[in-house]
Amino acid sequence: MSIVIRLLFFASLAVILISCYSFTATTLPAHIKTVQITDVDYRSFDPVIANRIKDGLTELFRINAPAVRIVNDNADSQLSVTLLSYNNRPETQTSNAAVETYRVTMGVSVSFYDNIRKKAIYEAKSVQAIGSYDVQKNESEEIQGQERAIEKLQEIIVANALAKW
């Protein structure tokens, strides 16, 4: 067999083996089999933002903790988020005072509670994320900044919640 064929064989074998392995960044205790992700308390902010935060958290939880079922009630654990602050402000300006980029900032509090052992797993009074959008790149919609901030919030919350187990 030529060296090229051998290399292709081993490269193919490596790809197959790697694709069979799945890694989850959490080691959940055996007693946690279910989680309830409550509706986000949005404290008079836009309820659509609250729904997008919850939907994203649910999806990330499914990906990062696939052994835990997400249920609507009677769960072993509960993840609760409250949207505390939201603002959309100019971030940078050109020399003639035209706004180039805007910054969406969101702040939340988080509680991840073990209902079986009756104790907090992860709590944070203030988690903040920023999502910028660039008017110069035709990103004129506030929703673009919202999406970026929401994605960052979700990643922070799920990573911290699962790392604290």
Residue 10 inside a domain? The answer is: no
Single pTM value for the model: 0.77
Number of domains in the chain: 1
Residue 138 inside a domain? The answer is: yes
pLDDT tens series, the chain, 165 aa: 566 455 444 444 444 444 433 334 455 678 999 999 999 999 878 899 999 999 999 999 999 999 999 999 999 999 999 999 999 999 988 888 888 899 999 999 999 999 999 999 999 999 999 999 988 888 778 889 999 999 999 999 999 888 855
b/e map 124-142, b = 16+ CB within 10 Å: beebebebbbbeeeebeee
Residue count of the chain = 165
List all residues 6 or more positions away from 136 whose beta carbon is below 8 Å from its beta carbon: 100, 101
Q: Provide the 3-class DSSP secondary structure of residue 28.
A: coil
Per-residue pLDDT, 112? 94
CATH of the domain at 61: 3.40.50.10610
Residue 69 inside a domain? The answer is: yes
Residue 70 inside a domain? The answer is: yes
Residue 19 inside a domain? The answer is: no
Residue 58 inside a domain? The answer is: yes
Question: What is the H or E stretch that residue 114 is in?
Answer: strand 99-114
The domain of 50 spans 29-163
Residue 49 inside a domain? The answer is: yes
Residue 72 inside a domain? The answer is: yes
Sign of CA dihedral 86, 108, 33, 163: positive
Residue 56 has a CB neighbour count (10 Å cut-off) of 18
